[in-house]
């Protein structure tokens, strides 16, 4: 699932952030926080699209654009991101996990997915 989501798809509980379980389909996945005006985001988008093609709907790839966050300061604070693009992972309960800080290559992301989520995939 490569889906664009909005701030209403999140729930802030204390210092934790959760995605609506219907959005995450009860599967772990990736959340991309990006801005349409960001050059780094535009360069990363093809990699994100390739990941979706390779992973299919089994590992959801979701994204939210900064314009959809601007009206929700509580969510911005809870997501605790400092720049674009920000890559976060979420678990099968929809809980947002820490920032991904590795290389922004398809190979590095796939390796992380395989190691952390035991969701190994083959390169095509």
Q: Is residue 61 part of a domain?
A: yes
Strand-strand pairing, 29-34 and 86-90 = antiparallel
Q: What is the pLDDT of residues 14-46, one digit of tens each?
A: 889 999 878 777 889 999 999 999 999 999 999
pTM of the model: 0.89
CATH code of the domain covering residue 91: 3.40.30.10
Q: Is residue 123 part of a domain?
A: no
Q: Is residue 10 part of a domain?
A: yes
Average pLDDT across each block of 10 residues of the chain; the chain has 124 residues. List them in order: 82 92 83 96 95 84 93 92 94 91 93 80 48
Q: Is residue 11 part of a domain?
A: yes
Coil, strand, or helix at residue 41?
helix
pLDDT for 36 equals: 93
DSSP 59-104: S-EEEEEHHHHTT-HHHHHHHT--SSSEEEEE-TT-BEEEEP-S-S
Write out the residue range of the structural domain in which residue 14 sits.
2-117
pLDDT for 38 equals: 96
Beta bridge partners of 2: 61
pLDDT for 21 equals: 76
Residue 38 neighbours by CB under 8 Å, 6+ apart = 84, 85
Q: Is residue 124 part of a domain?
A: no
Q: Is residue 122 part of a domain?
A: no
pLDDT for 94 equals: 92
Q: What is the mean pLDDT of the chain?
A: 88
Q: Give how many domains the chain has, as a whole number.
A: 1
Counted residue by residue, the chain has a size of 124
Ramachandran assignment for 119, one of left (phi > 0), alpha (psi -120 to 50 degrees), beta (any other) = beta
């Amino acid at each position: 699932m490569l889906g664009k989501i909005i701030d209403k798809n999140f729930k802030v509980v204390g210092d934790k952030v959760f995605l609506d379980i219907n959005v995450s389909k009860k599967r772990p996945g990736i959340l991309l926080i990006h801005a349409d005006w960001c050059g780094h985001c535009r360069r990363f988008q093809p990699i994100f699209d390739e990941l979706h093609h390779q992973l299919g709907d089994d590992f959801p790839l979701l994204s939210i654009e900064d314009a959809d966050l601007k009206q929700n300061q509580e969510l911005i604070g809870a997501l605790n991101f400092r720049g674009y693009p920000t890559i976060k992972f979420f678990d099968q309960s929809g809980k947002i996990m820490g920032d991904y800080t590795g290389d922004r290559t398809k190979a590095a992301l796939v390796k992380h997915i395989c190691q952390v989520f035991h969701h190994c995939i083959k390169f095509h």
